[in-house]
Amino acid sequence: MLQLHVIASGSKGNAAIIKDSAAEAALLIDCGICKRDLIAGCVGAGVDPASLTDILITHDHSDHTKGLGVAVRGLTKLGAQVTIHASPAVRAVSGPVEEALGTEGVSFHPFRAGDALSAGGMQVHVFRTSHDAVESFGFRVEGEGEGWAKDTLGYLTDTGCVTPEAHDALQGVRLLALEANHDVQMLREGSYPYLLKQRILSDRGHLSNDQAAAELDQLLSCLGGTMLEQVVAMHVSQENNLYLQAQEALAQVLALHQHPASASVAKQKTPISLI
């Protein structure tokens, strides 16, 4: 069975661990937090930091990459053999990625949308998202097995809309990490500058609670919607949203479908695990 451990999620830093309980290795998605918090998150989740063999980078923004260099050096000192997976375009503009790749023994594996990767003992399918980064991506992660017996996880954050590729990749997953960044009214009435509000609301910004709920509604209506067991709201803004609002937006959709899955919310400083 796959496990998702969200160590941090929000505009101040992001990092999540995915592990197949049947495998010794694990993978890390993004590292916008310090080494201390990463190691503490591993310990709290019962994951050996040295088992983090692969790091996937969604995009180049600093809240997803700023801790990468120091964290990778720390992991290698603990015995981890690390491969960093990122698109060539993201690598080209990301100082933290280049810093991490300067660590002895750390390797680089480029990917593009549509690729299938082997990482952390799992299969990872890469899909494009829509964000104001040089490039941005989400992931469908699959454990061992065949067909519907294969455990699956969908991971979608930092996108202003749900691309067709993303929607297809998220169908039939058991665990779903889905961005619910802002409440539209709170954002529009809040203190952010006008241009920043427009950026967040755009198709290259972030998903709102309503957009996340609409996508969940569509996924539950698709073939495989009954497979979902847990959905977690991701990248929730501490200025333009409330954790409870983001969670309830997803929970209301589940209730409408009379679906038994649970809805939770990932926070900036309090790790959460989906198993």
The predicted structure's pLDDT at residue 22:
85
Structural domain for 243, as ranges:
2-274
Task: pLDDT band for 146, please (50, 70, 90 cuts).
Answer: low
Instruction: Provide the CATH number for the domain around residue 91.
Output: 3.60.15.10
CB 137 within 8 A of CB 109: no
| Buried/exposed code over 153-173 (b: 16+ C-beta within 10 A; e: otherwise) | bbbbbbbbbbbebbbebbbbb
What's the whole-model pTM score?
Answer: 0.97
- Tell me: the pLDDT tens digits for 18-38? 999 888 899 999 999 999 999
Closest of 25, 141, 8 to residue 80, by C-alpha: 25
pLDDT at 212 over 90: yes
Positive/negative CA dihedral, 170, 172, 176, 180: positive
At 179 the three-state DSSP class reads strand
pLDDT at 148 over 60: no
pLDDT at 145 over 70: no
Calculate the alpha carbon distances from 221 to 189, 216, 224, 225, 261 in Å. Answer: 33, 9, 8, 6, 14
- Tell me: the pLDDT tens digits for 160-191? 999 999 999 999 999 999 999 999 999 999 99
pLDDT at 144 over 90: no
- Tell me: the pLDDT tens digits for 49-93? 999 999 999 999 999 999 999 999 999 999 999 999 999 999 999
Helices (H) and strands (E) in the chain, counts: 10, 14
Average pLDDT of the residues in 196-202: 98
CB 68 within 8 A of CB 62: no
Task: pLDDT band for 149, please (50, 70, 90 cuts).
Answer: low
The predicted structure's pLDDT at residue 229:
98
Query: CA 31, CA 51: separation in Å to the nearest integer?
Result: 16
- What are phi and psi for residue 260, nearest 5 degrees? -80, -5
Q: Which residues, 6 or more positions from 116, have their beta carbon under 8 angstroms from its beta carbon? A: 123, 124, 125, 126
Mean of the per-residue pLDDT values of the chain: 96
The predicted structure's pLDDT at residue 150:
84
The predicted structure's pLDDT at residue 268:
98
- Tell me: the pLDDT tens digits for 231-273? 999 999 999 999 999 999 999 999 999 999 999 999 999 999 9
The predicted structure's pLDDT at residue 244:
98
Average pLDDT of the residues in 115-143: 97
3-state helix, strand, coil split of the chain in percent (to 5) is 35, 25, 40
Q: 3-class secondary structure for 234-257?
A: ECCCCCCCCHHHHHHHHHHHHHHC
pLDDT at 225 over 70: yes
Cβ neighbours, 10 Å, residue 21 = 10
- What total number of domains does the chain contain? 1
State the Rg of the chain over Cα. 17
